[in-house]
């Protein structure tokens, strides 16, 4: 993975709307980390009342996983062995406001135990618990910050966005750009991806895929969020993918709708100008909330 830890200012700290996060496109993301020809979006939804949803962007070359994206963004946090409780790693990603407490076990499988967000960026910190019904007692040190954790229930679920048929570039419409992607890859008979025009998931780009695009050409619609069929450590990202972590067993994250406060640490001239345009932070503490369904089994991979 070739991804630098360059953070572009202005986070999307966002209030929930009635519609889902599918209405929020990659073009709306204001916080990016990494460099490369590929890009993806990560949404984290603490699922409070009202719910807070935060969106980030990730760029890379080569191969990257859903877990790589989260690690590249989380500015602080711990990776612990789920069996022994021993700390086996720390996180030093791009956004110092985002905290992640990850769990690992057999092999390289890693998933989320707790996630926190330092709303006013004052390094107030988080205290995480440990896996177990009686020990999942973590919290944010400051009441205005968001934090939720859980391994038993409620817990974090991992979701992925599935675009509509024929929407190769995942911009929620089927048009000339999608046709161009299919045309450029037509005849590919091995390791084809959705972004290349493989709309029927047979690892090839051929007449059936052209038929899907033709039948949907000119349509504007949104796709849907589903529970990830595989875990973040083994999910290989494709260009324009959208992933989400939702607390409490939900699948579809709430839609990001308004930009929040910018970073405050030592801005350069351009960053300072952006700081002056930042919005207000959102109050409210997020610890644990009632479950609203079963989480994705893919969180365990």
At 31-53, the pLDDT tens digits run 889 999 999 999 999 986 556 88
Structure tokens at 9: 């200012």
> Which ranges of the chain does DSSP label H, i.e. alpha helix?
66-73, 176-185, 207-216, 269-275
Statement to judge: residues 206 and 105 lie in one domain: no
Statement to judge: residues 173 and 116 lie in one domain: no
Which residues form the domain of 271? 12-161+224-300
- Which of 174, 194, 216 finishes a domain? 216
- Which of 180, 199, 216 finishes a domain? 216
Statement to judge: residues 47 and 186 lie in one domain: no
Question: Does the residue 112 lie in any domain?
Answer: yes
**Cβ atoms < 10 Å from Cβ of 287:** 19
Statement to judge: residues 64 and 201 lie in one domain: no
Lowest model confidence (mean pLDDT) among 131-140, 143-152, 197-206, 251-260: 251-260
Q: How confident is the model at residue 171 (pLDDT cuts 50, 70, 90)?
A: confident
Question: Does the residue 274 lie in any domain?
Answer: yes
The pLDDT assigned to 8 comes to: 38
For 81-119, b/e burial (b = at least 16 CB within 10 A) is ebeeeeeeeebebbbbbbbbbbbbeeeebbbbbbbbbbb
Statement to judge: residues 228 and 114 lie in one domain: yes
Question: Does the residue 1 lie in any domain?
Answer: no
Residue 144, burial from CB neighbour count under 10 angstroms (0-12, 13-18, 19+): middle
Number of domains in the chain: 2
The pLDDT assigned to 11 comes to: 41
Dihedral (C-alpha) 239, 32, 77, 139: value to the nearest 10 degrees? -110
Statement to judge: residues 112 and 259 lie in one domain: yes
Statement to judge: residues 287 and 236 lie in one domain: yes
Statement to judge: residues 173 and 190 lie in one domain: yes
Question: Does the residue 5 lie in any domain?
Answer: no
Separation CA 9–CA 278 (nearest Å): 10
Separation CA 78–CA 112 (nearest Å): 10
- Which of 199, 216, 233 finishes a domain? 216
Statement to judge: residues 210 and 233 lie in one domain: no
Residue 279 Rama label (left phi>0; alpha psi -120 to 50; beta): beta
Statement to judge: residues 45 and 19 lie in one domain: yes
Token pair 């939720």 is found at 148
The pLDDT assigned to 88 comes to: 92
Query: What's the Cα-to-Cα distance from 124 to each of 21, 144, 287, rounded to whole Å?
Result: 29, 10, 15
């Amino acid at each position: 993975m070739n991804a630098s830890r360059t953070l572009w200012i202005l986070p999307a700290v966002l209030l929930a709307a009635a519609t889902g996060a599918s209405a929020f496109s990659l073009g709306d993301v204001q916080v990016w980390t990494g460099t490369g020809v590929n890009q993806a979006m990560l949404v984290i939804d603490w699922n409070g009342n009202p719910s807070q949803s935060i969106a980030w962007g990730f760029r890379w070359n080569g191969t990257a996983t859903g877990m790589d994206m989260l690690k590249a963004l989380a500015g602080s946090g711990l990776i612990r062995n789920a069996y022994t409780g021993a700390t086996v790693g720390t996180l030093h990603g791009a956004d110092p406001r985002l905290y992640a407490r990850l769990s690992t076990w057999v092999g390289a499988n890693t998933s989320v135990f707790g996630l926190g967000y330092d709303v006013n960026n004052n390094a107030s910190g988080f205290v995480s618990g440990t896996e177990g019904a009686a020990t999942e007692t973590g919290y944010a040190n400051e009441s205005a910050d968001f934090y939720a954790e859980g391994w038993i229930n409620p817990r974090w679920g991992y979701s992925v966005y599935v675009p509509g048929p024929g929407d190769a570039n995942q911009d929620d419409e089927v048009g000339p750009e999608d046709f161009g992607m299919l045309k450029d890859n037509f005849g590919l008979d091995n390791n084809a991806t959705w972004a290349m025009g493989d709309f029927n998931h047979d690892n090839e780009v051929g007449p059936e895929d052209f038929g899907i695009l033709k039948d949907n050409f000119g349509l504007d619609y949104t796709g849907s969020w589903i529970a990830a069929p595989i875990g973040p450590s083994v999910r290989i990202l494709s260009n324009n993918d959208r992933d989400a972590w939702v607390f409490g067993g939900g699948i579809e994250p709430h839609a990001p709708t308004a930009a929040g406060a910018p970073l405050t640490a030592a801005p350069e001239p351009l960053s300072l100008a952006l700081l002056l345009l930042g919005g207000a932070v959102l109050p409210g503490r997020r610890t644990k909330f009632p479950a609203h369904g079963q989480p994705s089994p893919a969180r365990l991979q």
